[in-house]
Amino acid sequence: MAGYWRFQMRAGMVWGFGSTTALEKRFGLRWDYWWVNPETIVLSVRLNLGYTYTESRGHNFALNATFNEIQESNYDGLVIPGGRAPEYLAMDESVVSLVRKFSESGKAIASICHGQLVLAAADVVKQRKCTANPAVKPVLLAAGCHWVEPKLDTCVRDDNLVTAVMYHGHPEFIRLFVQALGGTIHGSIKKILFLCGDFMEDYEVMVPFQSLQALGCEVDAVCPKKNAGDICPTAIHDFEGDQTYTEKPGHDFTLTAKFESVDALSYDALVIPGGRAPEYLALDEKVITLVKDFMHVKKPVASICHGQQILSAAGVLEGRKCTAYPAVKLNVILGGGKWLEPDPIHRCFTDGNLVTGAAWPGHPEFISHLMALLVEVRKWQSATLKGCQMKRMNCGSVRCFAA
């Protein structure tokens, strides 16, 4: 959201093979990711009904810095993701030393899930309030922390140290980390609706959904023929050297509302994730009607990747500039849209109330475009709707700034 962020800080992530869902670029931060090896594999961690989570291969995660070239003095904060990697990172003295330097300098440190194993190895949790995945409790107690019993979304801040249990807590985890960096997030609440379906792309629903929650939005997720509390399985799409992307099972995503109970007037914006779901949702007349309603009242609509298959089927692309995953170009053109090449793949575009993106690498830009559009809607409403009984449509700006 260029023009609305109020600080530019650098933060680093210690990464290894097997980190959980990645935090994308947020809040104007410049993120660097480091690891001793040149490649990183991200593991998808899913809960089951047994004693622990299941584990399957997730997205490949590209690093953008070299660990041995990192200087703690060049950064304002450190993030340590969870997963399997911390078990091994905690035994690497160069990693442990780096964490100690961040702690000794009083800089913000945010660690989630099993990442706290690295904190314990660095001896930085003594007499500090701390939570983590329950399996890490014995190690943290032995390291002298004040243990906080966790729920899945529990997050704890103790001065410059932020700890969390699992990816369910990402929205609060991000908010607390921004606070530890000296920033704040504020703005009036906006209601955002996600149009979901089975095997939508994992990142393309999870990352925007949780990021918008972190920005203070009230976010609902619905799917035709499913109720609040039901699950939509997701798919992980990645490029691994073949002519097209590979597809693997992703996280289970929990819906928050019933599809039949929502309407365009009750929300400030609509988000359509990509993946496999849109090709089937585009055949559902009730889905088509909902999308048309949002476009008719000029509410912001943000669609990414294959989500534009639904926009094309709804007939709302006529004359609109639009991008999408390249394989969806035919849908866009036949739907009357003006095709914009997604080059590079993270490019996103806004045309009126419509935001389109090509794929999940563009999430930072995708969310920034949507938030900027919500701000513009709010300005328009302030000028034209003063005195009207439409307060539920008022959208506040979301800003981060240094204290």
Distance CA 350, CA 322 (A): 8
Tokens matching residue 366: 């995708």
- Asked if 310 and 291 touch (Cβ cutoff 8 Å), the reply is yes
393 versus 122: the higher-pLDDT residue is 122
pLDDT of amino acid 382: 45
371 versus 28: the higher-pLDDT residue is 371
Mean pLDDT score, 53-61? 83
Tokens matching residue 191: 């209601």
pLDDT of amino acid 398: 28
Say which range, 52-61, 258-267, 355-364, 393-402, has the weakest mean pLDDT. 393-402
- If you ran DSSP here, which 8-state letter would residue 275 be given? B
Q: Does the pLDDT at position 330 exceed 50?
A: yes
211 falls in which pLDDT band (50, 70, 90)? Answer: very high
Q: Please give the positions annotated as active site.
A: 113-114, 305-306
pLDDT of amino acid 185: 83
What is the per-residue pLDDT across 352-362, written as a single tens digit (0 to 9) for each? Answer: 999 999 999 99
pLDDT of amino acid 54: 74
Beta strands in 131-198 (DSSP E): 146-147, 155-158, 161-164, 183-186, 191-195
- Domain range 5-183, its CATH number among 3.40.50.150, 3.40.50.880, 1.20.1080.10, 3.40.50.300: 3.40.50.880
What is the per-residue pLDDT across 6-26, written as a single tens digit (0 to 9) for each? Answer: 334 455 555 433 333 333 443
Q: Which amino acid is at 114?
A: H
Mean pLDDT score, 285-307? 98
- Average model confidence (pLDDT) across the chain: 85
What is the per-residue pLDDT across 251-270, written as a single tens digit (0 to 9) for each? Answer: 999 999 999 999 999 999 99
Distance CA 212, CA 47 (A): 23
Q: Are strands 183-186 and 399-402 parallel, antiparallel or unpaired?
A: antiparallel
pLDDT of amino acid 145: 97
What is the per-residue pLDDT across 35-51, written as a single tens digit (0 to 9) for each? Answer: 444 444 455 555 544 56
pLDDT of amino acid 50: 52
Omega before 344 cis (within 30°)? Answer: yes
Mean pLDDT score, 260-284? 97
Fold adopted by 187-402: Rossmann fold (3.40.50)
pLDDT of amino acid 16: 38
pLDDT of amino acid 165: 96
Q: How far apart are the first and last CA of the chain?
A: 19
Tokens 């779901």 -> residue: 277
Distance CA 90, CA 3 (A): 39
Please choose, from the candidates 20, 18, 16, the residue with its C-alpha nearest in 3D space to the C-alpha of residue 35: 16
pLDDT of amino acid 25: 40
pLDDT of amino acid 378: 57
What is the per-residue pLDDT across 83-117, written as a single tens digit (0 to 9) for each? Answer: 999 999 999 999 999 999 999 999 999 999 999 99
349 versus 391: the higher-pLDDT residue is 349
Would residue 58 be called left, alpha or beta, if left means φ above 0 and alpha means ψ between -120 and 50 degrees? Answer: beta
pLDDT of amino acid 285: 98
pLDDT of amino acid 189: 85
Say which range, 34-43, 115-124, 293-302, has the weakest mean pLDDT. 34-43
Kindly list the domain boundaries of the chain, sorted by start residue.
Answer: 5-183, 187-402
Q: Do domains 5-183 and 187-402 have the same CATH topology?
A: yes
pLDDT of amino acid 243: 87
pLDDT of amino acid 240: 87
379 versus 330: the higher-pLDDT residue is 330
